Structures are given as structure tokens and as C-alpha cells.
Amino acid sequence: MLTRLAYTGAALVALAFGGMESAEAQQRGGAVTVATIGEPNTLDPMISAGDLLGMITQHFYETLFTFDKNWGLTPLLAERLPEISADGKVYTIPLRQGVTFHDGQPMTAKDVVASLKRWTDLASRGKLVASNIQAIEAVDDHTVRLTLKEPFAPLTALLAFNNSAAVIMPAGHMDNPIKEVIGTGPYQLKERKADQYIQLVRYDGYKSRPGEPDGFGGARKQYLDEIRFVPVPDANTRVEGALAGQFDYADLLPVEAYDRLKGQAKTEPLMLEAFGWPMFIMNNKQGMMTKQDLRKAVQAALNAEDMLAAAFGKPEFYALNGAMYPKGHVWYTDAGTKPYNQGDAEKAAASAKKAGYDGSPIRILTSRQYEFHYKMAQVAAEYLKAAGLKVDLQVVDWATLVQRRAEPAVWDIFITHSPFLPEPALIAPLPDTYPGWWASETKNKLLTALNTEMDQKKRVAIWADLQKLIYEEVPFYKVGDFSALTAKAPGLQGFTASPWPYFWNASLKQ
């Protein structure tokens, strides 16, 4: 599904990761109840890219690397950061020693190699690199070497994600679908009752990294005895449960609930700024949106401000920003963003005429799984209508949306959102194959340059050109930046807010 990563760079560090609680001695023990947005359809983080899945499985499965509090790469199961050869093709990864799986077996290079192979076979992120991999081999019991055919800068980032994840599993447990859940993480699976709870308990054989916690990396302390993930698909019920003190943590709440959660005895709101950005993806392959002038018409017609206001309520919860990354981010550039947020009905109508618009309704596909998608769609429909464009708003459940968007004949625009990814090359609608099918030569040239260039400064410049191209060719429309709201109980200490909440290092006040 959608990956989430608020990659905000140095200036926004304090926001992406919430501040840690002041040093009050953290107590051991207790069980924490976490309300999530639903039930994951699997506990195998390789086969699906859902945020929910990653959030849960990261407690019992671990990857070689992960992200530190600045969203930089940091080692987790690897001993150190990898050695990369000068030509960028060979990665040598030293592994930590003494790490054991939940069944007591030690983790060795054999397990890592098998896991990485499974990842390249099954995971969408793994498949991105599969054709580029020359070899994955165990140099010795505690070192793994990965050889690429061509340099690929995003590789380490891909290895660090916790969904569609390159988690390390025991070599003897490579079945698909997975039969037993055995990982190396600080908590292990005790019981799963679908639609009721997923119960994790402390893994006593866990060896934490030494030192202090650092984002998802660093030390992982196990204060809590138990973590219970409870699926609560209705957002309002999550809010109400938080208010009543029923949940120690409630994930992804409607930002409107902020006022209700403030000043309460049993819960407090947590805001994660610059969480992600919604986008309207155009069908560049078939139908009326293949005409650039019509896409420009839509670009001119939309009023991003009203769309964001309707979807997120208060200005504190969103930002009008045409650049694909928020201000202060390493990848931020305002190149080409002039056509953002025009709301100009006349200009849109003129552009539509130029495109030879024949009055057929524009089919916009959206879902209520993410309420803000749906709200933006409704506002957008009104603005498009004001420009003389007809709209056919199709509201379906997410499953149907995923199915329909794969067929170019049935939609013109669909709505989705993305986190701020550490690698712009990973932005979902960029590849030719992603629904939307943006297949422009210029784009592909720029993408290849972006992926093979290893110098960061040069990469930012290439990215700026790519962003300009996005505004010229309008393969999709970025609506703005938004923040996410969650809530936690005052008794939950040592908790660091992040896009994938984790509960190691957290404790309950007894």
C-alpha cells in the first residue's frame, strides 16, 4: 500500500520525531493497548507495503538497516553501515554477532542471504532491484556481499523500510504464505485473533544495540511486558476510545478531533507535522487526460487551498506547498511550481477548449478509506464544474479502487497520497508502470540520471529539473502538505512520535 515516511531533513528534525519524555526513571512492566486503523491481511512484511503492516511487524522482524532520528541510514542487524565500492556496485555488509531468532537459533549470513533473496522475489521494493542484482552471497558467517550490475543509489533506503521490507527471517522458514512468525525483534508474537487483537510479548533473548536510542535505530529497550494491537477501523471510535482512556495509543485520527483531545485527563494529542502529501494522478495512457492541455486545464482549475481546508480543517494541519518536499527538507526546491493552486476557472476553460474538450465527464476515482481523499475530491469536483468541465465522481472501497486503477480504460483521475520519501526516485507515480503510466522520454532520462548519480548536490539539481517537468507535463497534481494526528495516554512514557509508531523504549507509569 502506501509507504509513509516524513523525511524532513535537518531543519525539521524535531517535528518528524516527537521529543522524548524527560528523563524520569522508566518502569518495567505492563501491557499497552494500541488502536490501529484496521486488520492487516498478513503478518509478512515482505509481501505487502502497508504502513499498518510495517508498524506492527517492526516489533518482531528487523531489517539490516533502518532510519535514525534524522532519517539517515543507521545499522540495525548490520554491525555498521555498508562498505560501498568506488564504482557503487558492490555492497559489503558486516552482520552483528550473537543475535538470535525467537526460536533460539542464531542469526547468520545464511539467513540474511536467504531473506534477501526472498525479498527480491516477493517484495515490491525488492522487485525494483531484482533485475539489477548480480549476486547476493555470504562471504563468511557474519558478512554478506551484494553485487549490482549498475549503481543504484536508493538501494540502502529500500533495505531500511519496514514495509515491503527486507526483514531477516530464519533460512528454514521461507514459506509463502508464512507459516510461523519468527524474527529477531524485541517482541514476539504470542497470539493473533483476527479483527480482535494481535498480542506481542517481550522476547527475553533479545540483544539490543548498545548506547542510546536514535530514531528507529540505536538501543531498543524492552520496558513493556506486552503490546496489544487492536483494530478499530472507525476513526471516530478511535477518538472516543482515546478520550475514554481505553487506548494507550490511537493511530491516525481525523485532524478535526484535535480540539476534543486537548486538555483531557486520559489522553493527549500528538501532531506529526509534514506527514505526507495527497495527489491527483492523471491517466496519461488512455482517455481524455492523455491531452496535455486538458491536464493543464485541471491544473489551472483546482484550488488547493479550499481542498486542503475542507480535508484538514484548521490551517495548523496543512500547508500550501507546490514543491514535492516541504520547506527545509534536503530535497526541497521551488523549481517550476508557479502553476500550483490557481483556482482559475477561465484559464482552465480556455485550456480545455484548446484540448478540444467534448463535454464528457471526467471520471475521478476515490475512496473513503482515507476520508481526506474523499473530501478533496468533492471540493475538486465543484471547481472543475466551475470551469465548465463535467465530473463523474466514483467513490468506491479501497479494494475496488486498487483494482480499477490498474485498468486504463475506466478512469481519468484517481486520488492517493504519499509520505515524503527519502529518495525522490521512489515517488510512486514516477515509473512508467505505476497506474497513471507517465511514460515520457525526458522523464526517463532524468530518472536514470538521478539514480546513477552518487553526488548529493548534483542529485538535487537533477531533481529540480524533474520537478519542473512534473509541472509542465502535469502527470499528477500535488495538493499540499498535511500533518497527522494521533493520541496517547499520559501514562505512556518514553514514547517517540513517528510515522510508524513503535513501543520499544516506551513504558507505562504504574
Which positions lie near other proteins, rule CB under 8 A? 1-2, 31, 33, 39, 41-42, 47-50, 124, 164, 177, 191, 193-197, 199, 228, 230, 232-237, 240-241, 243-246, 254, 256-257, 259-260, 306, 309-310, 313, 368, 371, 374-375, 378-379, 382, 393, 395, 397, 399-400, 402-403, 406
Closer residue to other proteins, CB minimum distance, 33 or 208: 33
- Measured CA to CA in angstroms, residue 295 lies from 221, 247, 361, 431 at distances of 51, 45, 14, 19
Nearest distance, CB of residue 35 and other proteins, angstroms: 9
Write out the three cell numbers for 295.
491536464
Least separation in angstroms between residue 56's CB and other proteins is 15
Q: Pick between residue 49 and residue 64 the one whose CB is nearest to other proteins.
A: 49
Closest CB to other proteins among 93 and 301?
301
- Residue whose C-alpha cell is 526541497: 332
Residue 307 near residue 477, CB atoms below 8 Å:
no
C-beta neighbour count of 467 within 10 angstroms: 24
CB of 254 to other proteins, least distance (A): 5
Closest approach, Cβ 268 to other proteins, in A, equals 16
- Cα torsion angle, 446, 451, 453, 454, sign: positive
Strands across the sheet containing 143-148: 83-84, 90-94, 143-148, 133-140
278-307 CB burial, b ≥16 within 10 A, e <16: bbbbbbbeebbbbbbebbbbbbbbbbbbbb
Residue 172 CB, shortest distance to other proteins, in Å, is 21
Burial environment of residue 433 by CB neighbours within 10 A (0 to 12, 13 to 18, 19 or more): exposed
Cα separation of 458 and 98, whole Å?
41
Give the span between the Cα atoms of 302 and 382, in whole angstroms. 9
Block residue for cell numbers 509463502: 176
- Taking the complex as a whole, the smallest distance from the CB of residue 381 to other proteins amounts, in Å, to 9
For residue 134, give the 3-state DSSP assignment.
strand
Q: Is 459 helix (H, G, I), strand (E, B) or coil?
A: helix
Please, what is the minimum distance in Å from the beta carbon of residue 211 to other proteins? 34
Whether residue 45 contacts residue 162, with contact meaning beta carbons closer than 8 Å, is answered with yes
DSSP single-letter state for residue 361:
P
Closest approach of other proteins to the CB of residue 438, in Å = 17
- How far apart are CB 31 and other proteins at their closest, in Å? 8
Q: How far is the CB of 37 from other proteins (least distance, A)?
A: 13
Residue closer to other proteins by CB (options 12, 53) is: 53
Q: Of 80, 78, 40, give the one whose Cα is nearest residue 56.
A: 40
Please identify, using beta-carbon distances, which residue of 312 and 331 lies nearer to other proteins: 312
For 146, the grid coordinates are 551484494
Residue whose CB is less far from other proteins, 92 or 378: 378
Whichever of 97 and 236 has its CB closer to other proteins, that residue is: 236
| Closer by beta carbon to other proteins, 372 or else 471 | 372
Smallest distance from the beta carbon of 158 to other proteins, in angstroms? 13
Nearer to other proteins (CB atom), residue 332 or residue 372? 372
C-alpha–C-alpha distance, residues 435 and 282, integer Å: 9
DSSP string, 264-281: -SS-EEEEEEEEEEEEEE
Confirm if 180 and 189 have CB atoms less than 8 A apart. Answer: no
Closer to other proteins by Cβ: residue 375 or 478: 375
Cell of 375: 473530501
Q: Least distance to other proteins from the beta carbon of 32, Å?
A: 11
Nearest Cα to 247, choosing from 234, 287, 289, 51? 234
Closer CB to other proteins, 310 or 449, in the complex: 310
CA dist., res. 55 & res. 229, Å (int): 10
Nearer to other proteins, 100 or 378 (CB): 378
